[in-house]
Amino acid sequence: MQVWEGDHIMRVFVTGASGFIGAATVDQLLAAGHEVTGLARSDASAAAIAAKGARVLRGDLDDPGSIRAGAEQAEAVIHLANKHDFTNVAISNAAERAAVQTIGDTLAGSGRPFLLAAGVAGLAPGRFGTEADPSPAHGPDSPRGGSENLALEFVERGVHTVSLRFAPTVHGTRDHGFIAALVAIARQKGVAGYPGDGTNRWAAVHRLDAAHLVTLALAKAGAGTRLHAVAEPGVPTREIAQAIGRAFDLPVASIAAQDVQEHFGWIGGFFAMDLAATSTATQELLGWTPTGPTLVEDIAAGAYA
């Protein structure tokens, strides 16, 4: 069994290398001296990855052979791809679980690092989730296809699994995720809404801090570690709506619980959740100190203009 020795230059296979977090991660991996191969499913993504100075492996989450080939050739795998079909999450979750199964099976017995994206949803309703809280998502029908727990099960099979639990908003310029969707809805409806009394919270982290965490995790995190890429433990959704209202000169209003789904559509369920989490253990373990702008600062600075 090849033993993982931590802080050295590695050949790293990155899925989602053309994505919001993945592209920033590739930049930082390359800057740290690693050799990176990025999975690309289109000419545009291949060109973007190659332009950074990384190698390209053409493939798709729906093509397990491509995922296997990438993992076989690498000394470490960072899995950040996701279909993000929020109108049919079962499709995204099935692909996510299948990719994790393929990567785990490929790395089994190798001792090689396998870092994968995860989230903080459902860890500890009503309080701040911590790294010590196991994910309640088990099995294919659970959120994200239960991929974190599946990946962590591979530790017993000789895989150096590390879970990267990203805050529900990884924010910054070029974000096309949740905050961008909330901005689009606010502009379309002419009101920056928040669910209920707006006291439910979302953890947040700036994109570059998140990418820095991934790079540190590759070097420093032990097998079975759960990390929290969280800079702000809990921004009330009312403050998020107020920031959007100020930035786009829109009124701010509460959306009653029974109207949340209709007003916000697919993102309503997420925006009404309390997704608060701390990162004390992660910061201590990695020596990671987030330095990027806060979510409200980012919105005010025009990151979503």
Ligand X SMILES: NC(=O)c1ccc[n+]([C@@H]2O[C@H](COP(=O)([O-])OP(=O)(O)OC[C@H]3O[C@@H](n4cnc5c(N)ncnc54)[C@H](OP(=O)(O)O)[C@@H]3O)[C@@H](O)[C@H]2O)c1
Interface residues with ligand X (CB under 6 A) are 16, 18-22, 39, 41-42, 45, 60-62, 80-84, 117, 119, 166, 168-170, 177-178
The string of DSSP codes covering the chain is -PPP-SSS--EEEEETTTSHHHHHHHHHHHHTT-EEEEEESSHHHHHHHHHTT-EEEE--TT-HHHHHHHHHT-SEEEE------TTSHHHHHHHHHHHHHHHHHHHTTS--EEEEEE--TTSSTTS-B-TTSPP---STTSGGGGHHHHHHHGGGGT-EEEEEEE-SEEESTT--SHHHHHHHHHHHHTSEEEETTS--EEEEEEHHHHHHHHHHHHHHPPTTEEEEE-SEEEEEHHHHHHHHHHHHT--EEEE-GGGHHHHHGGGHHHHTS-B-B--HHHHHHHT----SPPHHHHHHTTTT-
Least Å distance, CB 274 to ligand X, is 15
Vertex 269, ends 267 and 273: CA angle to 5°?
A: 115
Shortest gap between Cβ of 269 and ligand X (angstroms)? 15
Taking the least distance from each CB to ligand X, the nearer of 19 and 198 is: 19
Tell me how far, at minimum, the Cβ of 196 lies from ligand X, in Å. 22
Q: Which CB atom, from 61 or from 158, has the smaller least distance to ligand X?
A: 61
How do 76-79 and 225-229 pair as beta strands?
unpaired
Q: Least distance in Å: CB of 241 to ligand X?
A: 17
109 versus 265: smaller Cβ distance to ligand X: 265
CB of 38 to ligand X, least distance (A): 8
- If the CB atoms of residues 192 and 229 are measured against ligand X, the closer one turns out to be 229
Q: How far is the CB of 221 from ligand X (least distance, A)?
A: 16
By beta-carbon proximity to ligand X, the closer residue of 61 and 186 is 61
Q: Nearest to ligand X by Cβ — which residue?
A: 19
24 or 260: CB nearest ligand X: 24
State the minimum distance, in angstroms, from the CB of residue 70 to ligand X: 11
Query: Smaller CB distance to ligand X: residue 62 or 197?
Result: 62
